[in-house]
Amino acid sequence: MKAKNLALPLMAGALMYGLSQRDQQKKQAEEAAEAEAKANAPTLGGDFLKAFISATPLLREGLALSSPEAQAARQDQSGFWPELGLTEGYAANRPSENFIPALAKGIAGPALSSIVGLGSEKSKQARQDQTGFFPELGLSEAFQAGMPWYDYRQNGG
């Protein structure tokens, strides 16, 4: 009789332990994916380097052919001209979509970029919450949004 009475609590404890282990593994996997995404996030300096590579013909072809993406395309025969993997290599050396706005903000200067930053989501939110410096305008948030590296910081880079 005692064995039957102990079996149910032991089974419930084992089930709870298994569920907690599964939750812990899931949390670790999410943290690892987040860390990998942050490590692979584009950076302003990296995009400048990619733009330089794309503008230099000898570097562009050499690095495009030797990139890991081109090697993977040659292995699985995917993409345009799979024997070379050139298109995948070109795509790997292309700057991210944040590069052109950052370049424009850098050329325009902080004053003009801050005026454009008044329309940013952060600035609109500050006007609603009445937070920051000159909360009626959301000026401090607009100045932050006007900095060239703002979009990179928003995306984790």
Residues 146 and 78 in one domain: yes
What's the pLDDT score for residue 38? 67
Residues 52 and 25 in one domain: no
> Above 70 in pLDDT, residue 136?
yes
Residues 19 and 53 in one domain: no
Residues 35 and 68 in one domain: no
What's the pLDDT score for residue 155? 61
Residues 97 and 128 in one domain: yes
Q: What is the number of structural domains in the chain? A: 2
**pLDDT > 90: percent of the chain:** 0
What's the pLDDT score for residue 2? 58
Domain that holds residue 94: 44-154
Residues 32 and 60 in one domain: no
Residues 76 and 145 in one domain: yes
Average pLDDT of every residue of the chain: 76
Encode pLDDT of 54-108 as tens digits: 888 888 878 777 788 778 877 877 766 767 777 787 888 888 888 888 888 888 7
CA distances from residue 47 to 16, 92, 98, 113 in whole angstroms, order as listed:
48, 11, 9, 20
